């Protein structure tokens, strides 16, 4: 997991995002066990309370379930829930595009610019 303690986005949100990524990529499986609070705490060098906070949030979103004394599991609906969350990110991106338009940059120019950046990156990889 990639955490940045100096980032403006809080650690517990970074953890949420990283765990979601692991579920999306199949490292953590739906119905499977999640790392325990204490384990993850040691592994990431982060206080257990912070892990707890991230886990509580994941549970609130229905992505994980906890069982007293037994541990914590990835919910069966986790995958679709996370995919839904990601879809919402498109809305947020669109909002930012609109703000740019308001600043006088045309929609098509923005799309063009994004494609250009993408091509550059693909070339670098190749």
Q: State the nearest-atom distance from the C-beta of 82 to its own copies, in Å.
A: 7
Binding mask 16-55 for its own copies (x = CB under 8 A): ----xx--x-------------------------------
CA gap 86, 41 in Å, rounded: 26
- Taking CB under 8 A as the rule, does residue 83 contact its own copies? yes
Calculate the alpha carbon distances from 69 to 34, 36, 73, 82 in Å. Answer: 13, 11, 12, 26
What one-character-per-residue DSSP string does 34-61 give? PPPHHHHHHHHT--HHHHHHHHHHHHHT
Residues that bind its own copies (CB under 8 A): 5-6, 8, 10-11, 20-21, 24, 60, 65-68, 70, 73, 82-83, 86-87, 89-94, 96-97, 99-100, 102-105, 107, 110-111, 113-115, 117-118
């Amino acid at each position: 997991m990639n955490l940045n303690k100096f980032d403006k986005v809080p650690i517990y949100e970074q953890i949420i995002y990283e765990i979601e990524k692991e579920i999306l990529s199949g490292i953590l499986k739906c119905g499977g066990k999640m790392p325990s609070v204490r384990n993850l705490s040691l592994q990431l060098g982060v206080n257990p309370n912070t892990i707890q906070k991230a886990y509580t949030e994941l549970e609130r979103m229905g992505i994980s379930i906890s069982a007293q004394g037994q541990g914590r599991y990835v919910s069966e609906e986790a995958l679709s829930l996370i995919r839904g969350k990601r879809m919402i990110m498109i809305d947020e991106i669109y909002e930012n595009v609109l703000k740019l338009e308001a600043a006088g940059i045309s929609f098509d120019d923005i799309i063009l610019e994004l494609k250009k950046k993408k091509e550059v990156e693909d070339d670098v990889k190749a």
